[in-house]
Structure 1
Amino acid sequence: MEWALYNLGVLYADQGKPAEAEAIYSRALQGYEEALGPKHTSTLDTVNNLGNLYANQGKLVEAEAMYTRALQGKEEALGPKHTSTLLTVNNLGILYQNQGKLVEAEAMHTRALQGYEVAIRPELLCSYIPALNTMFAFGDLFSQTDRKDMAKVMYTRALSGYTTVQGPSSKWCIRIEGRLQALQLMPAENETSHHILEEARTTKSKSRLRRLFNKLGT
C-alpha cells in the first residue's frame, strides 16, 4: 500500500501537483513509519522526496529538515558513501546554495562528487545522472563565487555526460550551454585573484551574478 502511495506521490510531483503530492507522500511516510520504522530505507526515501517537494515550492526550512533527517538516517542505514546517501548529500548542497550558504553548499557538493567518483566505475561516471547533476550544481556554485575556469570545467563535464545520455537538445544541455555562453561574456579573471575572491567580492557584484543566473533558469 505504501509503495503504491509513494509512486502516486512521485506522479503528482512530476505533474506539477504539489498539494496532492504532499498529501500522498505524507500518507506514505506515516505508513512506512508504522510498518517499517522511521529508519528504514523506504521511509527515508519518502522523507528525501518530501524534501525535494518542499524545495521546489520554496519551503527551504521544511526542505532542510527533511533532507537532514534523510541524510542522518541513510548514513546510519547504508553508510556515508552509499549512492543513495550521496543523492541526499547533493540535494542538501543545492538547498544550501539556494539559501546563500555557499561554504556549506561547496562542502556538500565536494562530498557528493568525490563519493560518486569512488562508488561508480570511471567509465560509467560520465553517464550517471546523479553525478552529472552534482557537476552541474558545482558549476553554478563556482560561477556564483567568481571561479570562472572551475565553473567551465564542471559545466563541460556535465554537458558531455548529458549529451551522451539525453541528447544535445535536452533541457539540461541547453541550460548548460547558456551558462557557458554567459561565462564567455564575463570579464576575464585575473589569475592571481583566486586566493582573495571571498574578500574581494562586493554585495553588488554578487547580486548581479544571481540575477544573471536566475534569468538563465536555475
Structure 2
Amino acid sequence: MSSKQKNIVILISGAGSNMAAIVRTAQAQDWQGAFGARVAAVISNRPAAAGLQLAQSLGVAAGVLDHQGFDSREAFDAALMQQIDRYQPALVVLAGFMRILTPAFVQHYAGRLVNIHPSLLPAFPGLNTHQRALDAGCTEAGCTVHQVTAELDHGPMLAQAAVPVLPGDSAGTLAARVQMQEHLLYPQAIRDWLRSAACR
C-alpha cells in the first residue's frame, strides 16, 4: 500500500447528500487507515448550498467559489483548479456539481475525475433522466459511476446499480429510489478505486 496521502476533493452545488454518504463511509470504514485516503475538502460553486454546512458538521473543510463572479466558464474553471490543487488531490469527485466542465479542466484531472449519473449509461445522458426512462417504458433504471471525459456522461464506467421501475412511478418516486442506490454505490466505487490505486 502506498504511504502517500490520497486527498479527495468533492465538488457540490446543492444539498450534498452523495457527498455526505461518501464522507460518512470514509469515516466509518477508516479509509485513512486502509488506503491513506481522506476527504480533504468540499467545494461548492453556490454560496447557499446546504451541503457546505453539512460538510462542516462532518468535520470536512468547506469552501465556496461562486461561478457568478466570473466572466467565462474558462475563467471559473481555471480558478477552481487553483483552489482544488491546494489539496494535491488524488481524486476529484463530482457529487451534484451542476456545471459543464471545460476540456482544460477535464484534461487537468484526467484519470482522477469521477461523477455519478442517475441513469444506466449509456442510456439517457444529460438531464431529466428519470422522466425519460419512464417515457421510454423502461422496466429498469439506476445510476452509473464513471470517469469524466470531455464528452458529457460518456467516460469509462466504474460501477452501476439498477432499480426496478414500478407501476405508478413518477419521476420523483423513481428518483428517490435511485438516489438510495447512489448513496451506496458512489462510496463503494470510490473505495474500489482507492484499493486499486493502493496496489499500483
Asked if Structure 1 and Structure 2 have the same fold, meaning a TM-score greater than 0.5 normalized by the shorter chain, the answer is no
Query: Which structure's relative contact order is higher, taking Cα pairs within 8 Å and 6+ residues apart?
Result: 2
Normalised by the length of structure 2, the TM-score is: 0.34
Instruction: Looking at secondary structure, tell me which structure has more helix per residue.
Output: 1
Instruction: Looking at secondary structure, tell me which structure has more strand per residue.
Output: 2
Normalised by the length of structure 1, the TM-score is: 0.32
Report which of the two structures shows the higher radius of gyration computed on alpha carbons.
Answer: 1
